[in-house]
Structure 1
Amino acid sequence: MKKYIPLLILILAIFISSSQSYEQQTIVPTLQAYFPNEPFRDLLSKLHFYYYGMDISVDTRGYYYFLEFLCRKAAHFFTFGAIGIAVYIALPRRKYRFVLAVLAACLLAVIDEFHQYFTSGRTASYQDVLLDTSGAIVLLLIWNGISILVKRRAKKKAH
């Protein structure tokens, strides 16, 4: 049962986060307080994303809102990566455990976006589902790669 606790905590955190409006979640005031000199503005000005039918850049959104966009998308990527790993750990060791963990993370991403659709000031986006699923795949690949290296190192020490 203990192996499900991280997954349940992550799902609860996602649900709470999706229940908040943009105004409740914005980190723009914090970014303005911590980065008054707009560090890396020139570098960030070179980045452009086409997202939800809009060009997202420093030019179109402003420095702090663009930085917030990057933070939000990184949060999606890494949170659902952690969910993928939590599902993977919770599942019994079977042949298709990796695939099942990715599918579970994707399903939770779809449910999360559906929940956001009904939250005031929030939007649902298939692009976030793709980002969330990508986070699960990438972090699971890293997790498995590290696991393989640790097992090989343990084998070498045993011999």
Structure 2
Amino acid sequence: MRKVIAIILVLCIISSLLVSSSQTYEQQSLIPTLQNLLPTKPFESALSTLSIHYWNTTISVEERGYYHFVEFLLRKSAHFILFGLLAAGIFLSLPSRFPRFLIASILTLLLACGDETHQYFTGGRTATIRDVILDMSGALTFLLFLQITVWLRRRKKND
């Protein structure tokens, strides 16, 4: 049953990536939603102390404004988490006799590259190697956690 759930997770994430990569930035903008949900701009003073260098620009509250900065953080967090879950789903859907860590890493890398390539052909979107690196950071983080869990369970079972 766990493998079926993992396969469903993988298919849902791939589907959501295809849909989101097909949309322009304007279609995906979270700004109006953030303005409605966060009218008092919580944590603005704390966020104002941060700046992130990304794609040859500085992303900060001062440079982009509060809502654009929060949106940037949410979008990049989504990359990390979605590709982490994708890699975990691939890992869990494979039989344990396979080199699951390696196969899940390679398939996730191919999907991350495919997602960025798809974005390249979408108006108002850009494809960046930095997003692939961020995607793989999430994937490898989730995979390391899973692999350590597998090793600990095996060790506990053998004791």
Q: Secondary structure at the match of 2:53?
A: strand
Rounded Cα–Cα distance in structure 1 between residues aligned with 2:31 and 2:153? 40
- Counterpart of 2:126? 123
Q: How many residues align?
A: 156
- Counterpart of 1:71? 74
- Counterpart of 1:105? 108
**C-alpha displacement of 1:96:** 2.6
- Counterpart of 2:96? 93
- Counterpart of 2:31? 28
- Counterpart of 2:143? 140
Could you report, residue by residue, the CA deviation over 1:20-64 in whole angstroms, capped at 9, with x for unpaired residues? 111111111111111111111111111111111111111111000
Amino acid at match of 1:28: I
Q: Which of 54, 57, 61 lines up with 1:54 in the alignment?
A: 57
5+ residue gaps, structure 1, are none
Q: RMSD in angstroms over aligned alpha carbons?
A: 2.0
Identity %: 46
**C-alpha displacement of 1:144:** 3.2
Do 2:101 and 2:147's aligned partners in 1 also have CA atoms closer than 8 Å?
A: no
Could you report, residue by residue, the CA deviation over 1:80-134 in whole angstroms, capped at 9, with x for unpaired residues? 0001001101222136311221121111000000000000111111000000000
Q: Secondary structure at the match of 2:52?
A: strand
* Alignment TM-score, normalising by the size of structure 2: 0.89
Q: Secondary structure at the match of 2:75?
A: helix
**C-alpha displacement of 1:76:** 0.4
Q: Out of 2-11 and 37-46, give the one that drifted further.
A: 2-11
Shift in CA distance, 150/94, structure 1 to aligned 2, threshold 3 Å: closer
- Counterpart of 1:38? 41
Q: Secondary structure at the match of 2:40?
A: coil
Q: Out of 42-51 and 110-119, give the one that drifted further.
A: 42-51
Rounded Cα–Cα distance in structure 1 between residues aligned with 2:44 and 2:99? 44
5+ residue gaps, structure 2, are none
Rounded Cα–Cα distance in structure 2 between residues aligned with 1:67 and 1:151? 41
